[in-house]
Structure 1
Amino acid sequence: MGTKKVWFITGASKGFGLEFINQLLAKGDAVAATSRSLSQLQTAANTTHENFLPLEVDLVNEQSVAKAIEATIAKFGRIDNIVNNAGYGLLGTIEELTDAESRQNFEVNVFGSLNVIRQALPHLRAQKSGHIFNISSIGGFVGDFPGFGIYCATKFAVNGFSESLAEEVKDFNINVTIVMPGYFRTNFLESDSLVTPKNVIADYQSTRDSQNFHQNQMNGNQPGDPVKGVSAIIEAAGEANPPLYLFLGSDSVTMAEKKINMLSKEIDKWKALSTSTDF
C-alpha cells in the first residue's frame, strides 16, 4: 500500500466521521466508512472515489461488524487505523432514565466499539501494526455535568477499557489513543444525536437548566472546529509515539486540568486517612 493508509471509520454519515472521509480521501488514504443507513452515508459523503467503501453496519450486531471488517480487508487488503466514532448523547438524570434507555446508550457507545475492536484485532495482530482511536469525550474524564451521568459513564467505560487495551496490544506494535473532545460544532446537540428521557421529573431543575443550555445556547456556538479536530487526530496517527490521551479543544484541556488539580488537592487532604489502611 506504500504510504497510503486504510482507515475504518464508524458513525461516518455526519460530524467527525464525515469530516474524516473528506480529509482522508483528499490526502490519498483509503476509507471504509460505516453508518446505520447506507443511503444516508452515500448522500452525505457524495463521492464515488475508488478509495471509498461505504458500508451499512449495525454496530451492536457482531456479525454485521464482522462482515464490514471482512469487506474492508477484501477491498483494501489491510486495515491500518480504526476510528470508533459512532455514539450518541443521553441527557437525563439517573432517576429519570429507564434501564432500557441506559442500556441502549451502553450498547452503542461501549459495546459497539468493543465489537469493532474484537473483529479488527486478529488482522492488526497478524500484520503487527495498527492504531485504534476510540472517540470518547471530556465527559469520560470529568463527570460533573447534571443530566449526563449515563452518557459520562459510557465514556468513562471507553477510557477504562482503552487503557487496558493499550497495554494488551503494545507487544503487537498496535497503538491506542483515547480522544476526548470538548464542545465541537457538530450536530451532537441536535435531536438526532442527543436523546432525552421519556419520563421527566420536574424536581430536577439543574438538569432542565443543563438541557436548555446545551440545546438552546451551546448548540451552534461550540468553540471547537471539527475540521481542525479531525486534522489533529490524523496528525496524531502519523506520530511514531502517539498519545494515549488526546484532549481536543481548549475547553477540554481546561476542564481536564481543573479535574487533575482538584484530585491532587483532595488526595493531599485525605492522604493520612487513605494510607492508614495498610497492614
Structure 2
Amino acid sequence: MENDKKTWFITGTSQGIGLILVQQLLAQGFNVAATARDVDSLKKAVGISSVQFLPLQVDLINENSVKQAVKETVGQFGSIHYLVNNAGYGLIGGIEESSDAEVRANFDVNVFGLLNVTRAVLPYMRNNKSGHIINLSSVFGLLAGAGWGIYCSTKFAVEAISEALEQEVKPFGINVTIIEPGYVRTNFLNSSSLITTKAPLEEYTAIREAVRKHQEDIPGKQLGDPDKVAALIINIVQNPEPPLRILTGSDAYQFANYKIDSLKTEIEKNKELTFSTDYLV
C-alpha cells in the first residue's frame, strides 16, 4: 500500500544505533523496513507492532535475500526514500593474526553486504529521481591503529565507495552521506558485534593490551550518545544540501584532525622526493 509517510530501509537493527533509529522513526510516524539476521529477536527488541513497521530477516551477503527484502518493502510501502546501511561488526587483532576466513567474513558484511543493499535499492531511487543513502562508517574509516587494520580497512572501503557513489547518483537527485562516529556508548564492544581473532600471537604485546582495553576499560565510558547519533541521522535527511561526511562525537573530531595534521606534515616533509619523480621539462 502507498503511504504518505516517507519510508526508511535500515540494515543491522537488532541492537545499537540501528535499533534506536528504528524506534525513533516509528515514534515519528515514518514507515520503517528493518533488517536483521534473526527477525524474532528484532521484533522483541523493537517492541512495537505497527503497520508502519516491516521487520525482515535478511542475509546481507546473499543478493537474492536482499532483493526479496527490498521488493517486499516497495510492495508494502510503495517506495524507499532513505537507505541506512548500518549493519557491520568489528574484528580486532593484528594483520598477521587475522586468518583469510576472518578477513573475508568481515568484508562480506561490512562492504559486500552494503554493496548488495545499495545496488538493490538504487533502481527505485533513480526511478523516483530522489533519495538519500546513509552509510555508517567510522572515524576509523579515516585512520587506522594497531589491532584494527582489518576492521578499519572495511570502513576505508565504505568511505571510497560512498565518495564515488555520491558523484554517480547526484544527477538523479540522490544524496549520499557518510556517518563517521567516534566511540559510541552502545554494546558494540561487549557483544557479538566485536570479535577477536582466533589465533592471537603473544608477541604482539601492544595489540593484547588494546584488546584488553576495549573489552574491559572502554565499555560504558564512550563519549558518544547513541540516541543523539540516531536523531542526527534523521535530521540530516531534512537538510536540502546534506554533507557528504559528518563526524559524530568530540573524540571523532580529534581523531580526524590528528589524521589531517599528520598527513599534511608527512606530505610536506617528502615534497622534494615527491616532485623528483616528474619528467624534467
Question: TM-score, structure 2 length as denominator?
Answer: 0.97
Q: What amino acid is aligned across from residue 187 of structure 1 in structure 2?
A: N
8 Å Cα contact 2:143-2:256 kept in structure 1 = yes
Q: What amino acid is aligned across from residue 91 of structure 1 in structure 2?
A: I
Q: What amino acid is aligned across from residue 147 of structure 1 in structure 2?
A: G
1:84-233 matched pairs, under 5 angstroms: 84-143=85-144, 145-233=145-233
Q: What amino acid is aligned across from residue 253 of structure 1 in structure 2?
A: Y
Partner Cα separation in structure 1 for residue 50 and residue 93 of structure 2: 41
Residues 168-222 of structure 1, C-alpha deviations (whole Å, 9 max, x = no match): 1010010011111000011110131111111110101100110111110101111
Aligned-pair CA distance for 1:55: 0.3
Residues 93-147 of structure 1, C-alpha deviations (whole Å, 9 max, x = no match): 000110000000000000000000010011010000010011011110011x221
Residues 33-70 of structure 1, C-alpha deviations (whole Å, 9 max, x = no match): 00000100000011112211000000000000000000
Q: What amino acid is aligned across from residue 138 of structure 1 in structure 2?
A: V
Partner Cα separation in structure 1 for residue 111 and residue 15 of structure 2: 19
Partner Cα separation in structure 2 for residue 83 and residue 112 of structure 1: 12
Q: What amino acid is aligned across from residue 258 of structure 1 in structure 2?
A: Y
Partner Cα separation in structure 2 for residue 52 and residue 39 of structure 1: 13
8 Å Cα contact 2:3-2:78 kept in structure 1 = no
Q: For 1:107, what is the secondary structure of its paired residue?
A: helix
Q: For 2:275, what is the secondary structure of its paired residue?
A: helix
Aligned-pair CA distance for 1:2: 8.0
Equivalence for 1:59: 60
Moved more, 261-270 or 153-162: 261-270
8 Å Cα contact 2:82-2:132 kept in structure 1 = yes
Equivalence for 2:254: 254
1:4-19 matched pairs, under 5 angstroms: 4-19=5-20
Q: What amino acid is aligned across from residue 97 of structure 1 in structure 2?
A: S
Structure 1 segments, 4+ long, off by >3 Å, are none
Partner Cα separation in structure 2 for residue 187 and residue 59 of structure 1: 21
Aligned-pair CA distance for 1:4: 2.3
Can you give the 5+ residue segments of structure 2 that lack an aligned partner in the other structure?
none
Moved more, 262-271 or 6-15: 262-271
Equivalence for 1:239: 239
Partner Cα separation in structure 1 for residue 137 and residue 61 of structure 2: 17
Moved more, 90-99 or 190-199: 190-199
Partner Cα separation in structure 2 for residue 3 and residue 234 of structure 1: 17
Partner Cα separation in structure 2 for residue 156 and residue 271 of structure 1: 25
Partner Cα separation in structure 1 for residue 3 and residue 198 of structure 2: 51
Can you give the 5+ residue segments of structure 1 that lack an aligned partner in the other structure?
none
Partner Cα separation in structure 2 for residue 271 and residue 258 of structure 1: 20
Aligned-pair CA distance for 1:276: 2.2
Question: TM-score, structure 1 length as denominator?
Answer: 0.98
Aligned-pair CA distance for 1:28: 1.4
Q: RMSD across aligned C-alpha pairs, in angstroms?
A: 1.1
8 Å Cα contact 2:141-2:152 kept in structure 1 = yes
8 Å Cα contact 2:25-2:32 kept in structure 1 = yes
Q: What amino acid is aligned across from residue 63 of structure 1 in structure 2?
A: N
Q: For 1:31, what is the secondary structure of its paired residue?
A: strand
